[in-house]
């Protein structure tokens, strides 16, 4: 199932599931305790009933309030209307893969990387995670991402986002992971190149994935990115993000030597980058970036200087 959060104009928040094409049904309107995806995860953890089964039981118990997805997206982009989509989750922490050692990459792709480290690529049991900040730095799927004013070049990386609950992989979303080039100038600037106001976005929903058999298989998903400046497309890109290890194995490496908080998100390192004639297009204030992930949806963020 796909889980969204919707904010109404007078402050009411609804946890919704996609029940039909272009239709969301509010679980909160059926039971007001169910206002957050983490609540479902906590309930599932206590009862051993899967999240999607809990949601199905709620939907079968009573008719819930519905929203039209297309109208919600339009209202979220244009900042109008009685309801908007907000980020589907409030994680305790965010982490980002610093090198694509989870992906199937050619030798040429490794050589073109800024991180020419075949040892890291060869050993996927050691995570290459970089701290990306707390929930306060994460923006909604149609809100403004940030670029640092002291950084010459910042880019958007469209990524598959893993949702991790109590050390377990539970689903995916799509994310915009904003990265500055301060790190390339000095190794001491790794953190400021990654952690700042609006350094990431997520949404529009979470696709729950609760089948352990499927989660033990590597993912292969299509990511796309389009970048606009003054309503004109200035860059684009797409990639088949093909992993060499499964979500369960990736998350195992993340938590093996750590005690993470209950809820975290991990930008997986599988990225789509905006290019024009093979040249990477950096972000400028006022740009709009749209990132899509098959089976999940898309996010659209405007750029501001922070």
Report the alpha-carbon distance of residue 131 to residue 272 in Å, rounded.
20
pLDDT value for 241: 87
The rounded radius of gyration (Å) of the Cα atoms in the chain is 19
The string of pLDDT tens digits covering residues 128-147 is 788 999 999 999 999 999 99
Higher-scoring residue by pLDDT: 151, 68: 68
> In which band, very low, low, confident or very high, does the pLDDT at 97 lie, cut at 50, 70 and 90?
confident
pTM of the predicted structure, to 2 decimals: 0.93
- Topology of the domain comprising 2-86: Vcp-like ATPase; Chain A, domain 2 (3.10.330)
Report the alpha-carbon distance of residue 301 to residue 146 in Å, rounded.
10
Instruction: Tell me the backbone φ, ψ of residue 294, rounded to 5 degrees.
Output: -60, 140
Report the alpha-carbon distance of residue 177 to residue 155 in Å, rounded.
8
CA quadruple 6, 12, 17, 22: dihedral sign: negative
Closest CA to 85 of 231, 207, 164, 202: 202
| Chosen CATH of 93-305 out of 1.10.10.60, 3.90.850.10, 3.40.50.11540, 3.50.50.60 | 3.90.850.10
Report the alpha-carbon distance of residue 237 to residue 225 in Å, rounded.
5
Query: Mean per-residue pLDDT for 231-248?
Result: 93
Pairing of strands 168-180, 154-165: antiparallel
The string of pLDDT tens digits covering residues 208-220 is 999 999 999 999 9
Report the alpha-carbon distance of residue 92 to residue 300 in Å, rounded.
23
Q: Domain-by-domain residue ranges, the chain?
A: 2-86, 93-305
**253 has a pLDDT exceeding 80:** yes
Q: What is the DSSP letter of 296?
A: T
Report the alpha-carbon distance of residue 299 to residue 306 in Å, rounded.
20
**199 has a pLDDT exceeding 60:** yes
> In which band, very low, low, confident or very high, does the pLDDT at 184 lie, cut at 50, 70 and 90?
confident
The residues near 113 (Cβ < 8 Å, ≥ 6 apart) are 99, 100
Count of Cβ atoms closer than 10 Å to residue 186 Cβ: 10
């Amino acid at each position: 199932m796909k889980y969204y959060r919707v904010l109404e104009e007078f402050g009411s928040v609804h946890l919704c599931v996609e029940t039909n094409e272009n239709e969301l049904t509010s679980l909160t309107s059926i039971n007001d305790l169910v206002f957050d995806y983490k609540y479902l995860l906590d309930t599932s953890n206590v009862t051993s009933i899967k999240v999607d089964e809990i949601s199905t039981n709620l939907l079968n118990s009573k008719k819930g309030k519905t929203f039209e997805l297309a109208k919600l997206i339009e209202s979220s982009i244009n900042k109008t209307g009685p309801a908007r989509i907000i980020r589907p989750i409030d994680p305790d922490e965010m982490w980002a893969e610093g090198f694509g050692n989870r992906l199937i990459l050619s030798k040429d792709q490794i050589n073109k990387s800024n991180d020419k480290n075949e040892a890291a690529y060869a050993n996927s049991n050691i995570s290459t995670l970089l701290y990306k900040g707390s929930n306060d730095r994460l923006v909604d799927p149609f809100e403004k991402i940030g670029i640092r004013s002291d950084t010459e070049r910042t880019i958007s990386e469209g990524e598959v986002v893993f949702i991790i609950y109590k050390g377990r992989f539970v689903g995916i979303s799509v994310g915009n992971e904003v990265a500055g080039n301060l790190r390339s100038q000095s190794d001491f600037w790794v953190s400021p190149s990654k952690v700042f106001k609006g350094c990431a976005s997520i949404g529009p929903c979470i696709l729950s994935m609760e089948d352990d058999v499927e989660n033990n298989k590597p993912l292969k998903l299509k990511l796309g990115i389009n970048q606009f400046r003054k309503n004109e497309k200035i860059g684009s890109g797409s990639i088949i993000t093909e992993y060499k290890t499964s979500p369960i194995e990736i998350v195992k490496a993340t938590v093996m030597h750590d005690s993470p908080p209950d809820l975290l998100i991990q930008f997986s390192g599988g990225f789509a980058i905006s290019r024009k004639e093979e040249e990477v297009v950096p972000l400028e204030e006022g740009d709009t970036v749209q990132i899509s992930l098959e089976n999940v949806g898309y996010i659209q963020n405007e750029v501001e200087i922070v």
